[in-house]
Amino acid sequence: MGEVLVVTSGKGGVGKTTTTANIGTALAMMGYRVVLLDADIGLRNLDVVMGLENRIVYDLVDVTNGRCRLKQALIRDRRFESLLLLPAAQTKDKTAVNPEQMKALCDELKQESDYVLVDCPAGIEQGFKNAVAGADKALVVTTPEVSAVRDADRIIGLLQADTEMHHPLLIINRFRPQMVRRGDMLDVDDVNEHLAIELLGIVPEDESVIVSTNRGEPAVLNVNSRAGEAYRNISRRLMGEEVPFMDIESNGTFMGRIRRLLGMRTG
Amino acid sequence: MQRILGKEANRASKNIAAERLRLVLMHDRLDLTPQMMDSLRSDILKVIADYLEIDESGMEIALQRSNNSIALVANIPVVKMKRLPASAG
Ligand SMILES: Nc1ncnc2c1ncn2[C@@H]1O[C@H](COP(=O)(O)OP(=O)(O)OP(=O)(O)O)[C@@H](O)[C@H]1O
Ligand SMILES: [Mg+2]
């Protein structure tokens, strides 16, 4: 039986959908059976990022309303046999699904997969509650900006208060080492210190993410993409592997600390 | 004043962001629920009642945010001082 991971953030546009698509694809590349579940009802995006938008027949709400069977709504990825997508509905009614239905759906999906990745909508309302309802583990995405970190803090507080997910994992996205060196961006330590949850990975700001999204091919498929590499590393860490952090951090002190944490020798 | 403003403009924006983040999180996390505020209020009253006679209806307590700190500010009108026995208890 598999595990359900929800990718959430509070603030919009920080990279939840990008993260879901990339980690899901990376896990499928590693041979795992993965289902991507787009829980952003009304603002369906994951299909486009995955390049699967033309194959949609049924969606999440069709399944929960019993208009089709779950198997009929799952779209198989063109590249990986073991990668499936359940698209969100484009209905305006965000209450079309409730947390109980989402929990039941996740429970069913994980019967026949290793990982179910839920792409959570922005905000802390119904859509968030739906997305976390069936999840076993949460990945919180933020960018190194005051507003995004603040919202991540809110989300972590809600996860800890209202769910069993007391130890969410942190992903810092759109990190720009040059700006950090210039002193114009919060560094990893600043973010870590406040959020105080385990850091799963740091994804650099990278044009290849936009190029990949244009093509409908997640960046992890591109061996030359820095962001793709970061997402591949994140996926391996999720599998329990100890992967050193990429050298995109601002200052040696942080790297040194990470290396020491991981029990590695510097250099 | 000019000097402070000038300094602020030259400071790396990262430091400004870090400080603002610290404050904003402190404020968010300190946001006590109305129930907690009420029980804080009645506990304060209980403690004070041994020493002073106060006007409960005029009592105001609130968390106040200033530039670089957060304070619990209480405004409690005193009606009468109690005459404490020379050796209490
Ligand atoms: N590391 C990155 N480098 C460059 N661009 C990025 C990166 N991560 C995300 N983006 C871009 O940022 C935009 C928002 O990303 P994405 O859609 O994944 O965010 P989201 O959190 O899912 O947004 P929403 O809250 O609207 O669902 C997209 O255009 C995406 O291509
Ligand atoms: Mg999204």
**pLDDT tens-digit series, residues A89-102:** 998 787 789 999 99
Q: Is B54 helix (H, G, I), strand (E, B) or coil?
A: strand
User: pLDDT category, A250, cuts 50, 70, 90?
Assistant: very low
State percent of chain A over pLDDT 70.
93
Task: Quote the mean pLDDT of chain A.
Answer: 93
Which amino acid does the sequence have at A52? L
* B60 part of a folded domain: yes
Range of the domain at B15: 2-83
pLDDT recorded at residue B29: 83
pLDDT recorded at residue A249: 43
For the ranges A109-118, A174-183, B56-65, which has the lowest average pLDDT? B56-65
Angstrom distance (rounded) from CA A7 to CA A231: 13
Largest Cα separation within chain A, whole Å, is: 58
pLDDT recorded at residue A251: 40
Instruction: Select, from the ranges A35-39, B16-20, B48-52, B82-86, the one with the highest average predicted confidence (pLDDT).
Output: A35-39
Angstrom distance (rounded) from CA A159 to CA A138: 8
Confidence (pTM): 0.83
State percent of chain B over pLDDT 90.
20
Angstrom distance (rounded) from CA A53 to CA A47: 5
How much distance in Å is there from the Cα of A14 to the middle of ligand 1? 5
**pLDDT tens-digit series, residues A41-73:** 999 999 999 999 999 999 999 999 999 999 999
Cα–Cα nearest to A199, from A141, A132, A116, A131? A141
Q: What is the mean pLDDT of residues A134-160?
A: 97
Query: Which residue of A153, A182, A185 is in closest CB contact with B25?
Result: A153
pLDDT recorded at residue A102: 97
What is each CA distance from A229 to A29, A224, A233, A254, in whole angstroms?
Answer: 13, 8, 6, 20
Instruction: Determine phi and psi for B8, rounding to 5 degrees.
Output: -60, -40
pLDDT at B86 over 70: no
**Which residues of chain A form beta strands (DSSP E)?**
3-8, 34-38, 75-76, 83-86, 115-119, 137-142, 169-175, 198-204
Q: Which CATH number is A3-261 given?
A: 3.40.50.300
Mutate to test the pocket of ligand 1, among A11, A17, A43 (most ligand atoms within 8 A of CB): A17
How much distance in Å is there from the Cα of A15 to the middle of ligand 1? 4
Angstrom distance (rounded) from CA A151 to CA A109: 29
A210 lines ligand 1 (CB under 6 A): yes
Total domains in the fold of chain B: 1
A205-227 burial by CB neighbour count: b if 16+ within 10 A, else e?
Answer: bbeebeebbeebbbbbbbeebbb
Sequential DSSP letters for A55-66: G--S-HHHHHTT
Which amino acid does the sequence have at A182? R
* B88 part of a folded domain: no
A157 lines ligand 1 (CB under 6 A): no
A9 lines ligand 1 (CB under 6 A): yes
- 8-state DSSP, B60: E
* B48 part of a folded domain: yes
Q: Which two tokens stand for residue B64?
A: 């106040």
Query: Which residues does chain B have within 8 Å of residue A180's beta carbon, measured at their own beta carbons?
Result: 14
Check CB contact of A189 with chain B, cutoff 8 Å. Answer: no
**pLDDT tens-digit series, residues B4-24:** 555 556 678 999 999 999 988
